[in-house]
Structure 1
Amino acid sequence: MLHMNIIDPVSKVSIDDHPEPEKLNTGRAARVKAVCDEFDIEIIPGNDYPKPGQVRATATIDRIMAKYGEGHMRLVLSTLSETKGNHGLMTQTSLWATSDLIRACQEWVDADVSSWLAAWDQIPMGFLLWHCNELSGISHQRHALAGAMYVMLVHYSRGRKAGKDIDYSFMRRIQKAEGMPSPRETNQQEAIALGLEFIRVKESLPAGEWLPWLRDNAGVSYATALKYMSLARSVAA
């Protein structure tokens, strides 16, 4: 069957990446309806455009539940239906992308679901869907949307990330390519700056007052202060 890329005439957003099956069997349809009812989500016919609180991508919900379980599907629907502006954008693409991100960030979701939902409150889903549609036919909409949303989640959550080990060698290559100092270089620069400040303060204080000042104000040990001062002198020499 020929599939047309359906565009919402109001939002200009691609609704589907590929066709939904015509109809679920009675048991599967009942299971989808039950989980949607938990979040007051109304299921509408496939030829209607969803309004806030409505969904027509029932086959997608069924597939996600079959693959990852009802608990996972509840998290997907909760994330979309209970966050700002997203309850009107429960499409095939957004459901799959949200599912992908929950799986990627499962540790974050389990540890602090409130901050997870708070970060989603900041995501302009419609804006992202609209721009991802510009890649239709070139890049899979689900993956494009998930990538765009992930960048925004990391930004708005102030650094919460997917539960995957960081590839520090890759990060160093990026830093080198972009001319960014490495953490080691940054630490050394900070140590030099502190060393110069310690030298300045010591020279400005009367004899015998620098050690009390260091103890009360510096937040580092005497040995560390001497190390920083020595490093600063070696650079200045």
Structure 2
Amino acid sequence: MQQVGENSEKGRRELGEESQEKGDTRREKVRENHNDFRVGVSDRHQFGNSQTDAVQKPGAEVMTPRLTQICADLGIQIIPTTKRRGVGETCAVRTMERILAEYGPAHLTIVLRSIVETENNGLELVAPTMWAISDIVLAHPTWTATTDWLDAMDRADLSDMRARAKANRRAAQPRPAIATMLYAHLSQTFDLNDQGKLL
């Protein structure tokens, strides 16, 4: 009985250490992305020089080396518009290229990580959702500085938000509609006073 108890305690201790290690890794990634976003350029990515390429299915749109590397780093696969999306797959190349060109690699990385590295959102690599997250990150840059951001995104049902936005598209375009719903969700986690008071 004593041996069983010791084994059980050892198992709980190892599980706790594994969970702590995953949490530390996530915090480190968030810290790196936030620092890169603040300076506007990521020194950690040597785009175009890596031997690792993002997976592009036949018929998919060709990407710039910079975007290819970001997608490879995040395990995102590029598919043609005629193929049904799976988890971690997207055909929204033009959207990603535009966000990359306008706001830089660190910003795009935050946007994509908010989808592919959060719970049950891996199917949401679509243009309106990417733009909505981009808008929120730009409007509230301090929110992405801690793991609270990814934890809050874990609880965000992006699929449901997009479905509701699509159903109401005669009243509002999906991009701002999703951004509004996402703001309502995230504002429950983050201190609105950090954003300053409206005059």
Task: Establish whether TM, by shorter chain, passes 0.5.
Answer: yes
User: 1:154 pairs with 187, 190, 193, which one?
Assistant: 187
Alignment-derived partner of residue 42 in structure 1: 77
Structure possessing the higher relative contact order (Cα contacts under 8 Å, 6 or more residues apart): 2
Aligned to 1:222: none
Alpha-carbon distance in structure 2 between the residues aligned to 1:90 and 1:162: 31
1:87-138 alpha-carbon deviations (Å, 9 max, x no partner): 111100111011111111211212x1x0000000111111111111112133
1:129 to 162, 175, 186: 162
Instruction: Give the direction of change, closer, same or farther, for the CA distance of 1:87–1:160 in structure 2 (3 Å limit).
Output: farther
Change (3 A) 1:166 1:64: same
CA RMSD of aligned residues (A): 2.1
In structure 2, the partner of 1:65 is 100
Is 1:167 the counterpart of 2:198 in the alignment?
yes
Q: Secondary structure at the match of 2:118?
A: coil
What amino acid does structure 1 have at the position aligned with 2:74?
Answer: F
Alignment of 1:48-59 (within 5 A): 48-59=83-94
Aligned to 1:74: 109
Scaled by the length of structure 2, the TM-score of the pair is 0.65
| Counterpart amino acid of residue 150 in structure 2 | L
Between the aligned partners of 2:70 and 2:118, the Cα distance in structure 1 is 17
Deviates more, 1:55-64 or 1:41-50: 41-50
Q: Unpaired runs of 5+ in structure 1? A: 1-21, 169-237
State the match for 1:139 in structure 2.
172
TM-score, normalised on structure 1? 0.55
8 Å CA contact 2:60, 2:80 repeated in 1: no
Equivalent-residue separation in structure 2 for 1:150 and 1:162 (angstroms): 14
Percent identity, aligned pairs only, is 25
Q: What secondary structure does 1:85 align onto?
A: coil
Render the CA deviation track for 1:66-103: whole Å, top value 9, x for unaligned. 00001100111111110011111110011101111111
Q: Is the 1:32–1:61 contact (alpha carbons within 8 Å) kept by the matching residues of 2?
A: yes
**CA distance in structure 2 between the aligned counterparts of 1:142 and 1:163, rounded to whole angstroms:** 24
Q: CA deviation at 1:48?
A: 1.5
Higher Rg: 1
1:87 aligns with 2:118: no
Residue 162 of structure 1: CA displacement?
8.3
Q: Cα gap change, 1:134/1:71 in structure 2, threshold over 3 Å: closer, same or farther?
A: same
